[in-house]
Each structure stands twice: as C-alpha cells, then as structure tokens.
Amino acid sequence: MERDSSPSDQFHRYKNLIQNGDNPDITKERQGASFNLYNMQCFVYENDHKLQRRQEILEFVESHREFDDPVHPHFLNRDEQIDRATRKCLAMVDNLDAIDVTDYFDEAPLYQLLTIGRELHCLSLHYGMFLPTIQVHTEKSLILGPFQMAASKAILGTFAQTELGHGSNLSKLETTATYDATTKEFVIHTPTMSAGKWWPGGLGKSANYAAVMAQLYTSGESKGPHLFMVQLRDNAHAPLPGVTVGDIGPKLGNNANDNGFLIFDHYRIPRRNMFMKYSKVEADGTYIPPPHAKLGFGAMVLVRLLMIRDQTCQLGAAAVIAIRYSAVRHSAVRQGEINEGEGEVQILDYRTQQYRLLPQLARSFPSSQRMRSRNSTSKYVTKQINNNANMELLPELHALSSGLKAVITWEVAQGIEQLRLSCGGHGYSRASAFPDMYAYAVGGCTYEGENIVMLLQVARFLMMIAKEVRSGNPKLAEIAEYIAKPDAVTARISSWKTCSDEDIIHDFEAVTRKLIFATFDRLTTLERTMKKKEAWNACSIDLCKAARMHVKTYLVKNFLARVRTCEDPASRTVMHTLAKLYAFDLISGGGGHFMKGGFLSEKQFNEVQLGIYEMLAAIRPDSVALADSWAISDLELRSVLGRRDGNVYPALLEWAQQSPLNQN
C-alpha cells in the first residue's frame, strides 16, 4: 500500500482545487462602485503627493531583500520575535536616508508598518518618545551637543517615567534626583521598591540612555517631577555601576518590545543632564521654575497626538480586512439564503453584517482626517511656547489631545474586536491579523495616559469653561465656543436625507452642553457639603460622560466639515452619507443622552434608527471601494483575510503550512 502523502503534498493538492486570479466577487464589487477610486484616495490622503509617497515607500521596502521574513513572524517564539524586530529595525534605520522618511504622522508609521508590522519594538520609544522629549525639552544651545547623538542614532534611548507604584499620578513618583552643588551633579536614586521604573519600552535589553522622570530636590526643597538624561549602559552595553536593569517579561501583545525595569543606587549624572529648556537648576542650586507648571509634560502631549493618527489607521486596516472578507465569504461556504431558491448571498449582504462593518469604517475616517490639522495646531502651539512663552493655547491642546486619545483608542480597540467577530472563526486566527491588531491597539487605552484619567483631564477643562460661562465672562477656547451658546429645547434631526449638517451639529452641541452643565451643577452642589476632591470623585462618572460627549461632538463637526472640502462630487456624496452614518450611529448608541428631557422625540429617534438602516443599504454597494480608498497594500495589511485579490482560502492553507507542527 502507498504511504500517506506528506502534509505539504496534501496542502498542494487542496490548493490546486482553488482558482487563481482575483476572486470574481471582489472584482464585481469594485466594478460597481459609484465613485472614482483615485479621486477618493486623493481626498482621504489629502493630496496626490501623499498617495505617491505611500507607493514609493511600499516599492522601496518591497525591493529591499533585508526586509524579507524568512519565517512568518506568527510562528516565532519571544526571543526570535525580538531578534527579528531588531534586525528589521537596523535595516529600517540604515535605509532611512535613502527613502527620506521624515514625516512622523504619515510616512514614518507607514515605513515602520511595512518593514516590521504592527509591533512596538526596540526603537519605538527611541523614535516615539525619546527624540520628541529631546526636541521639546532641550535648550537650543545643547540640541547640537551631546543630544545630537540621539538624533544621529549614536545612542539609543527610552522614556522612563512609570514606576511600580505610580503611573498616572505623576506628582507621587518616588525616584529622586537630588542636586549636589559641591560636585555639580544630580544623584538619581530609587528609595523604595515601588519607586523602581517599570514598563519603559526598549529598556530591558536595548536602550543605553533614558529620559528619566524624577522628583527634583535642590537646596533641600522638593520641586516636583522633572526630566533627566541618564546613561544606563557603557560602550560594551553592560549596565553602569549603580544601575540595575532588565526585561519585565511577556505581555498581552507587543512582545518584540523589551519593556523593562530600572533601579538606581545613588547614581550620579552631570548637572547639564537635566532637561533645562523650561525649568533650570543653576550651578549653585538655585531653581528657576518653568513659565507653565505642566510644560514638563509636553512630550506626552505630542505623543498622544501621534498615537491618535497611528491608532485610527489600525481601525481603518481592520475595516478593510473585514469588508473584503465579507465580500468573498460565500464562494466556498454558504451561510444561508435570504430568498429561498435564489441562491446564497455574500455575508456582506446581511444587514446585521453591514451594521457591524460600516459604522466602524465610518469611525475610522474622521479621526484620521482630524489629526492632520491637529498636527499643525501642535506645531503652532510649540512655536508659540518657544518664541515668546505664550501658554494660552496649552490647556486647550492638553484637553483636546487627552480627550481624542481616550475616545479614539477605546473606539479603535472596540471596533477591531467587533470587526474580528464579524469574520467568524477565521477572525480568531492570527492569520486574520485581528489578534495582533487588537493587542497593539488596546495597549493604547493604557499607555501615554490611562483613558479614564485622560477623560477626567478633559472634564477639568470643561468644568472650568462652564464656570466661566456661568460667571458671564467667558474667555473661550475655539473648541469650547459652543458651550456658551443658548440652550436648545428640541432636536432638529429628521430623516437622514433631509436633515442638514447644521441640524446634526446643533443637536450634538445642545446635548453636550446640557450634559456639561448638568454635571457642573451637580458638582457645585456637592461641593457645598463635601471637600472639592470628594465632590469631584462623586461626580466622576458624569464627568467622564460629559468629556466623551464633548470629544464626539468635536469629531462629528470635523468629519462633516472635512467632507464639505471634497472637490469630487461622487466621492463627496458617499463620504457625506458615511459622515451622517457616523453621527446617527453615535446618537443611536448614546440614545439616553439625546432623549433625556424629551430633547429628541420618539418619532425622531425612530427616524435615526431607520436612517441608519437606509444608509447601510446606500453604502453597501460602495463598501469594498471605500475599503480600497484607504490604499493599504497587502504588505501593510498583513492579513490573509483582507488580501486585495480576495483569494482567502489558498492563502489560509499556505499560512497554516508554515506552522512548525506541520514540518514533520
């Protein structure tokens, strides 16, 4: 009797049963689109140049063999994952000048995704936080000195702030930096176990320097948390005497990153290693405070803005995968017939499936659009601060970046999970990319400011505005002008086709305003009988709700405004429906707020629900083309389910074949 064929032979036999070329269903979807894909892509990426740069970077990476993966990364253990990421990082950095990637918001994340994938790695913190810290906090005269080494990659750094005992509450960090005027040095020390730094990325094995946040003591006085440039390892990469450092072990995701711990034992650094752009310690120990108490937190604000863009792209990619898969899922396995005898349908035709996919697709657009102009706002604010110590815009930028960070990372993580579920069993496989995507995105809910803590920062800002409005003398930031508008008693929203953008904005603003003032009134009432902080705590659930609603209103307004700038009529029509779907879905999800006090009548609420169903049907024929408008290549997507050609099944077989369990 003949021996059983090998697993590899069996795979090939199955593969040959499946057709080559693009999946016909996905081709049909593309042919049925109501708009021109190129025009839409130019709108999504703002201009043709950005689109071309995406293509250039893709072709560059694809043509360089050092970016190839000999073994699929899903089948590597942690050591191998770290090795792979490090090898890729080196290639990525070596080629940086050749491909001329300088733009941190669009090009750098793309270049990184194409070379390494969705991973935080040994260089993430160097580029993501260490360099921004240097840029934001180093005096001009020094930026070309020792700090230039960081920019030129002569040193590799991380951002060491969080401790075992404290992460959110920076004022209670325990690591100390005590100035010794006799030697003109700071003594960095870890006085307790809970003061040990814990979490910094790239710290465990890779970084030889860190920007360390420590409580400054000078002339016997405590001056609060400040940043210091600290060398951790010598030229042979061994920890320096007085420094204990290591890896904190595997995590939910991002395991190619060596997040680490760090303990100091009376470790001395020169005085000039304090980041002294805003606050200073003179040689004799005299302390010069910064022009604004929170300027020391500036790097975090910048990175929150970077994260928003980065995270939104994850949701866009997840929507692309789920929509393409839903278009091809029926050729081999059928899920049921809608009209008996008329043949089975693509799962994309189920209204429930559309309800899972399309609001997530809609959600992925406004935040990515937004960030482009936030980027310029942040540059503007930084310039104002640098030029003439103008701090006026800082609270607004802090509130906005904190709020967007909290709302978007949460929506992205929830959205990815919803999209994963929409792909059934295959969504659970790592081949789909969803598990890695989720693990990457959900980390963003915690790092760079835990989301609830961030929402409460927005709430502080809103309560301050509410107080000013009530006092009759408001000095309002642009993002808060609507809070001073007169109350509105009834909603204007009607059918999705007839209601205007102004109606939608009116209703969102009115509901948010009401929520803000209701919370403000509750807070001030409680403050009469409680200590301020107790009253704040008692109100904090409402405070978070008001903050969320404020951010969502901001996103709705900006999505609608951005759609109005679309020059191509066909693209604008589809995008406008998508923007309305986004707004209506938020109303439907936050129905309680809108119906409170009869603001939105039951009839209007039913209109909103019906509107959603109709918009799902209207967008359905364009959904694959809309997914394509993200212009994400297969290399960037890294998903078997989301392949552009729709040939999911042979690709799944091919992927499984690489499992080490199938090698013998």
Ligand X SMILES: CCCCCCCCCCCCCCCCCCCCCC(=O)SCCNC(=O)CCNC(=O)[C@H](O)C(C)(C)COP(=O)(O)OP(=O)(O)OC[C@H]1O[C@@H](n2cnc3c(N)ncnc32)[C@H](O)[C@@H]1OP(=O)(O)O
Known binding-site positions: 162, 201
170 is a contact residue toward ligand X (CB under 6 A): yes
509 is a contact residue toward ligand X (CB under 6 A): no
Rounded distance between C-alpha atoms, residue 128 and residue 123, angstroms: 8
The residue among 31, 13, 43 whose CA lies nearest residue 565 is 43
| Contact range with ligand FAD by CB under 6 A, out of 154-162, 349-357, 400-408, 496-504 | 154-162
Among residues 33, 42, 125, 648, the one that binds ligand FAD under rule CB under 6 A: 125
Q: Which of residues 142-161 bind ligand X (CB under 6 A)?
A: 159, 161
Rounded distance between C-alpha atoms, residue 155 and residue 229, angstroms: 12
Q: How far is the CB of 89 from ligand X (least distance, A)?
A: 8
Binding mask 235-274 for ligand FAD (x = CB under 6 A): -------------------x----x---------------
Choice among 107, 174, 448, 607 that is catalytic:
448
Q: Which two tokens stand for residue 279?
A: 């606050």
How far is residue 464 CA from its own chain's centroid?
Answer: 27
For 217: left if phi > 0, alpha if psi spans -120 to 50, otherwise beta; the answer is beta
394 is a contact residue toward ligand X (CB under 6 A): yes
Q: Under a CB-based contact definition with an 8 Å cutoff, are residues 327 and 300 in contact?
A: no
Host H or E run for residue 378: helix 351-388
* Torsion, CA 644, CA 646, CA 651, CA 652, rounded to 10: 120
Q: How far is the CB of 127 from ligand X (least distance, A)?
A: 4
535 is a contact residue toward ligand FAD (CB under 6 A): no
73 is a contact residue toward ligand FAD (CB under 6 A): no
162 is a contact residue toward ligand FAD (CB under 6 A): yes
447 is a contact residue toward ligand FAD (CB under 6 A): yes
Q: Under a CB-based contact definition with an 8 Å cutoff, are residues 7 and 650 in contact?
A: no
For 178: left if phi > 0, alpha if psi spans -120 to 50, otherwise beta; the answer is beta
51 is a contact residue toward ligand FAD (CB under 6 A): no
C-beta atoms surrounding 198 within 10 Å: 20
- Label the pairing between strands 287-288 and 280-281: antiparallel
473 is a contact residue toward ligand X (CB under 6 A): no
Q: How far is the CB of 105 from ligand X (least distance, A)?
A: 8
Q: Which of residues 191-210 bind ligand X (CB under 6 A)?
A: 201
Among residues 41, 133, 162, 176, the one that binds ligand X under rule CB under 6 A: 162
Rounded distance between C-alpha atoms, residue 255 and residue 251, angstroms: 6
Rounded distance between C-alpha atoms, residue 16 and residue 6, angstroms: 16
167 is a contact residue toward ligand FAD (CB under 6 A): yes
Cα R_g (the chain), whole angstroms: 27
Among residues 41, 86, 124, 577, the one that binds ligand X under rule CB under 6 A: 124
Nearer to ligand X, 523 or 566 (CB): 523
Among residues 117, 157, 200, 650, the one that binds ligand FAD under rule CB under 6 A: 200
The residue among 257, 300, 252, 248 whose CA lies nearest residue 448 is 300
Helix axes 532-564, 451-471, angle to 10 degrees: 90
* Torsion, CA 390, CA 396, CA 400, CA 401, rounded to 10: 30
φ, ψ of residue 15 to 5 degrees: the values are -60, -35
Q: How far is the CB of 458 from ligand X (least distance, A)?
A: 9
Mark whether 468 is an active-site residue. Answer: no
Alpha helices, DSSP H, located in 45-152: 48-62, 78-94, 96-99, 107-115, 124-125, 131-137, 140-143, 148-151
Q: How far is the CB of 254 from ligand FAD (least distance, A)?
A: 6
Q: Which of residues 627-646 bind ligand FAD (CB under 6 A)?
A: none
Which residues line the annotated binding site for FAD?
A: 162, 201
34 is a contact residue toward ligand FAD (CB under 6 A): no
Q: How far is the CB of 544 from ligand FAD (least distance, A)?
A: 9
Q: How far is the CB of 203 from ligand FAD (least distance, A)?
A: 7
Binding mask 296-315 for ligand X (x = CB under 6 A): -x--xx-x--xx--x-----
Identify what 543 binds: ligand FAD, ligand X, none; CB under 5 to 8 Å per kind.
none
Identify what 204 binds: ligand FAD, ligand X, none; CB under 5 to 8 Å per kind.
none
Nearer to ligand FAD, 108 or 511 (CB): 108
| Contact range with ligand X by CB under 6 A, out of 164-172, 528-536, 562-570, 603-611 | 164-172
4 exposed, middle or buried (CB, 10 Å; 0-12, 13-18, 19+)? exposed
What does the DSSP assignment read for 599-623?
Answer: SS-HHHHHHHHHHHHHHHHHHGGGH
Host H or E run for residue 214: strand 209-218
The residue number whose beta carbon is nearest to ligand FAD equals 167
Q: Which of residues 521-560 bind ligand X (CB under 6 A)?
A: none
Rounded distance between C-alpha atoms, residue 481 and residue 504, angstroms: 17
Nearer to ligand X, 177 or 586 (CB): 177
The residue among 258, 347, 306, 412 whose CA lies nearest residue 624 is 347
Interface ranges with ligand X (CB under 6 A): 101, 104, 108-109, 111-112, 124, 127-129, 159, 161-162, 168-171, 201, 294, 297, 300-301, 303, 306-307, 310, 394-395, 398, 447-449, 453, 457, 460, 464
Q: Which residues are catalytic?
A: 448
Interface ranges with ligand FAD (CB under 6 A): 125, 159-162, 166-168, 199-201, 254, 259, 443, 446-447, 449-450, 452-453, 456
